[in-house]
Homo-oligomer: A and B are copies of this chain.
Amino acid sequence: MLKYSPPVDDVFRAVGDSTRRDMVERLGRGPASVSQLAEPLGMSLSAVVQHLAILEACGLVRSHKVGRVRTCRLEPMIMRTAEEWFASQRVAWERNLDRLGEYLAEGETKQRSKR
């Protein structure tokens, strides 16, 4: 199995902030301008632009400017890589349970033979 790709690191830091998650949820409902993104967030436009920069840097969001309006939208493929990190950890663990039996994890275990 390969290690998860480097950008995943930035993706997780990006969604670690609740304001940025709100932005992602807003964009999940469709593209939006920077002002539209900012409107429900109760902070300066400047702050929103800074959050946007982080979301774009990790690839979760893309934007393009037409005239004076920058329109932003989600990049679903990057969402998928984050989603898959959780899935792979969970599946590894669940496989683990199958292999060893849950009781082994209960602490009572002494020296389980390796391999």
Contact = CB atoms under 8 A, between A and B. Distances in A.
Q: What is the predominant secondary structure among interface residues of chain A facing chain B?
A: helix
Contact of A79 (B89, B104, B108): B89
A100 interface: yes
Q: How many monomers of this protein are in the complex? A: 2
B90 A86 contact: no
A28 B89 contact: yes
Interface in A62-115: 64, 66, 71, 73-74, 76, 79-80, 82-83, 85-90, 92-94, 96, 100, 104-105, 107-108
Contacts of A93: 27-28, 73-74, 76, 79
A64 B107 contact: yes
